[in-house]
Amino acid sequence: MNTAKPFARSPCAIANSLDILGDKWSLLVVRDLLHGKSTYGELALSPERIPTNILADRLERLQSAGIVTRTPYQQRPVRYSYTLTPKGSALGEVLLAFVRWGKQHIPGTITLKQGPAGGEVAVSAANSRRRRTKRVG
Amino acid sequence: MNTAKPFARSPCAIANSLDILGDKWSLLVVRDLLHGKSTYGELALSPERIPTNILADRLERLQSAGIVTRTPYQQRPVRYSYTLTPKGSALGEVLLAFVRWGKQHIPGTITLKQGPAGGEVAVSAANSRRRRTKRVG
DNA sequence: TTTAGTGACTTGCATTTTGCAAGTTTGTCC
DNA sequence: GGACAAACTTGCAAAATGCAAGTCACTAAA
């Protein structure tokens, strides 16, 4: 009698992806994790300055969605390292699509590559050559 | 000296894309327009049943973002047809990335193709092959 | 001439989410 | 002991969401 897992809105893959990722912050956290950031503090220092309560909430939601895992990298005091699961890393393709669209259709936007410390490095925007897969991180 | 802040959060293409599209509904409206729906009533009949006030709000926001245009298809009473601009159609790549990710990582989700009347038809795989397509995994 | 119906919104209002600031906990180093 | 730091928590106002109902302009039927 096991009823199949009911979908919140519909079985559409897009709708269900948006139920997990459809807000202004989740994909930015994934972006930063892809860029090599791993601690709460590093994530909080992104150029968009995510509010810390939102960050805590998103990290928990992304964990229960199987996109992020948390492991302690030290004890006393316990400090956690956040990393992407394979499911989370696969979102690189989605981010790449957003980067391409944004750079092509929102004037002035760029690919942002950040070191773990939060420094920004602009990656050329005028470079609309698409030949080989470009990396997000 | 120009001190105007051009971007709401950062110059990142992802962040600015999410400022326009980062919610649970906008990309579903785009999806339906790509599927050939065009009137307010057709859009309101999507399987996710978008609330009508949200639909009106999103259509206006997508218009001011240059993603959607509205043209009257009849007078007395005036009725509007909503269509995607080239900027909006280019979001097909983003939707495709979401579909691939969702189908691969959210069990049970499918590609939904809807006729203008709202009937659902499951579709197997992505068929876009314009340029070298990236691998999903 | 009412009456009913339809498409395209609008409005009211309760619930939920966001965002800012400040506070807390658990530790280290001096 | 006191300063400092990372990683959260909490409080609360503002904004967004979602449900139901209402409006407006017109058509068509009774």
Chain B hits for A47, CB-CB cut-off 8 Å, are 9-10, 12, 15
**Stretch among A45-49, B41-45, B102-106, B123-127 having the lowest mean pLDDT:** B123-127
Question: Could you report the per-residue pLDDT of A66-94, keeping only the tens digit for each?
Answer: 999 999 998 888 899 999 999 999 999 99
Q: How far is the CA of B53 from the C1' of D18 (A)?
A: 9
Give the Cα separation of B44 and A13 in Å (integer): 19
Give the Cα separation of B46 and B50 in Å (integer): 7
- Report the percent of chain B where pLDDT is more than 90: 67
pLDDT band at B95 (very low <50, low <70, confident <90, very high): very high
For chain B positions 61-90, those within 8 Å of chain A (CB to CB) are 66, 87, 90
Kindly tell me the burial class for residue B98, based on how many C-beta atoms sit within 10 Å of its own C-beta (0-12, 13-18, 19 or more): buried
Examine the pLDDT at A127 and tell me if it is beyond 80. Answer: no
Q: How far is the CA of A35 from the C1' of D16 (A)?
A: 30
Q: Name the residue with higher pLDDT: A8 or B18.
A: B18
Whether B14 and A23 lie within 8 Å, measured CB to CB: no
Q: How far is the CA of A127 from the C1' of C12 (A)?
A: 50
Examine the pLDDT at A16 and tell me if it is beyond 50. Answer: yes
Question: Strand D: which bases are under 7 Å from protein Cβ?
Answer: 5-11, 16-22, 25-27
B90-108: average pLDDT:
95
Protein footprint of strand C, defined by Cβ closer than 7 Å to any strand atom: A 23-25, 49, 51-54, 57, 76-78; B 39-42, 52-53, 56, 59, 70, 77, 79-80
Instruction: Report pLDDT for A131.
Output: 40
Residues 6+ apart with CB under 8 A from A50: A25, A28, A29, A43, A44, A58
Examine the pLDDT at B14 and tell me if it is beyond 80. Answer: yes
Residues 6+ apart with CB under 8 A from B55: B25, B29, B40, B43, B44
Instruction: Report pLDDT for A32.
Output: 96
Residue B31: closest CA among B98, B80, B129:
B98
Give the Cα separation of A46 and B15 in Å (integer): 11
Omega of the bond prior to A77 within 30 degrees of 0, cis?
yes
A86-111: average pLDDT:
95
pLDDT band at B125 (very low <50, low <70, confident <90, very high): very low
- Report the percent of chain B where pLDDT is more than 70: 78
Residue A67: closest CA among A50, A46, A88, A82:
A88
B96-116: average pLDDT:
85
Residue B87: closest CA among A4, A14, A102, A1:
A102
Instruction: Report pLDDT for B90.
Output: 97
Closest protein residue to D25 (Cα–C1'): B77
B90 neighbors A106 (Cβ within 8 angstroms): no
Give the Cα separation of A2 and A81 in Å (integer): 37
pTM value? 0.85
Give the Cα separation of A87 and A65 in Å (integer): 9
Following DSSP, what letter does each residue of A51-66 receive, concatenated? Answer: -HHHHHHHHHHHHHTT
**CB environment B109-121: b (16+ within 10 A), e (fewer):** bbbbebeeeeeee
